[in-house]
Structure 1
């Protein structure tokens, strides 16, 4: 990944708005993708919006024939159509962090280096699924992330995208909490708007796997993100209470052409960094409620996990042993193992009353 170097001048008061787009593989794209950044740029340009995409990269992700990973591939076929402003700050496997590993880049450094007027982000899915954090934990990280960006520039604005993959368990709650975050943190000096999908977005019709979008999915994400950005740029002094849920501007992003042959990396980057096998599922899981709301969850651990994630309704905890006690009234609980090689499927059980 690129080393951030503060080589650009301060943002001009007049001229195009400088926009730093950050995110993970969904935003960077794989060799041969159009990417949603392409459709966003084309749509904004068609409406006369003057924006300058900035950031440490201009390429896509690519795994070469010799197995080498390229986090900023700009060679032949990097994009299905390279005729757009390709600068960005997204990268495969990216997380908000900080988690002191390969997949985190400090947003404060990026803001200091590239001096954006607006940071546009589509974050969270790797934090939710790879780091095994619950939605509330990821939102707490998002708050710290916003504070880190503001420490470099107290006047920077934000467009935060709701995750379109609503078929994933944790995503709907995360999306709801993202609106609360914007309400809590948005100010007249540093505004936060939340981009929301207005078109039907489905796993079968808009993605090539569990998460990564096909070309039509890229177009729909672009409409969501570009619409919120246009709304923000058109309203320099909005009422604070209207900021979290702006009506997306009608940005007519181009119709999606036929999908390229390759639209997603052939490897899962996060898992490929570890040679360890994922842990097996916990066995003989039981949940018993005692003394009103005290729920005791027990299980027999499989070989290999570092810890276990336990959830009873909205109450959750992390356990390093084979037992967890939660104050929850939910009728069901679930447990899964987490290790260096990944995570096991959830094991769900009904709570027995004692």
Structure 2
């Protein structure tokens, strides 16, 4: 059984009442991947904005493998020290990673963030020398439109991320970047300029699905069956 681990920040953990892109990708893989698989990770909860803590399990659709390693307000800086233990304990085969916005916005510059990517990859490989990783570049949010220096940091980091992936890619532990959703629009694909709504969840899931299929033949072409993302019942 192939074991996928979603890793990320608030866009990945999601908040109470949401489907999350994790659910959208799971439904896609159910329809297109012909072998057993699951999602793994040391956490299962959503973020509760009222409690200001990750204590909710109120998924819009709870009936899927909800495990992940994601946290509201967490970035490469926070998850690099945790990824080795998570990969080891959960026996992860493929990491689906969406991180960096928090780092660049509050903690580290582009170069420092790229160094934390290297630490993350090293720790993951120490736990599983054959782990595969798909890394999603930082998608600009509403702050990029009003803060030129922040927008520059995002662009610089994404360039460094591509270089880092090319440098660290190994045959026994493949590493690749997912192409950011081409039509992603913060005005129509998010509910606040940062966090994905239903169409945004599909966009992120589609980015990972396309990378998995084009690079490794896992799954198929991504299709969202309507805005709600519900596939026909089998």
Give the TM-score band, short-chain normalised. 0.7 to 0.9
SS of the residue aligned with 2:12? helix
Higher Cα radius of gyration: 1
Give the structure with the higher percent helix: 2
User: Could you tell me the TM-score, scaled by structure 2's length?
Assistant: 0.85
Q: Deviations over 1:123-148 (max 9, x none)?
A: 111000021x2222211111111111
Do the aligned partners of 2:181 and 2:204 also contact (CA within 8 Å) in 1?
A: no
Aligned to 2:194: 211
Distance in 1 (CA, whole Å) between partners of 2:136 and 2:225 is 20
Q: Deviations over 1:33-69 (max 9, x none)?
A: 11111111111111134421001122211144xxx44
Aligned counterparts, 1:75-94, within 5 A: 78-94=58-74
SS of the residue aligned with 2:176? strand
Deviation at 1:105, TM superposition (A): 5.4
Instruction: Identify unmatched segments of 5+ residues in structure 2.
Output: 145-150, 230-234
Deviation at 1:199, TM superposition (A): 3.1
Distance in 2 (CA, whole Å) between partners of 1:61 and 1:46 is 28
SS of the residue aligned with 1:205? coil
User: Could you tell me the TM-score, scaled by structure 1's length?
Assistant: 0.58
Distance in 2 (CA, whole Å) between partners of 1:112 and 1:232 is 24
- Pairing partner for 2:48 from 51, 62, 78: 62
Q: Deviations over 1:227-270 (max 9, x none)?
A: 212334428xxxxxxxxxxxx95221333229xxxxxxxxxxxx
SS of the residue aligned with 2:4? strand
- Pairing partner for 2:161 from 178, 182, 187: 178
Indicate the larger mover: 109-118 or 89-98. Answer: 89-98
Instruction: Identify unmatched segments of 5+ residues in structure 1.
Output: 1-15, 236-247, 259-354
Q: Greater RCO between the two (CA within 8 Å, min separation 6)?
A: 2
1:226 has 2:209 as partner: yes
CA RMSD, aligned part only?
A: 2.2
1:129 has 2:115 as partner: no
- Pairing partner for 1:35 from 15, 20, 23: 20
Distance in 2 (CA, whole Å) between partners of 1:22 and 1:230 is 19
Distance in 1 (CA, whole Å) between partners of 2:126 and 2:158 is 25
Aligned to 1:138: 113
- Pairing partner for 1:257 from 196, 215, 228: 228
Q: Deviations over 1:153-181 (max 9, x none)?
A: 11111011112226620222222221111
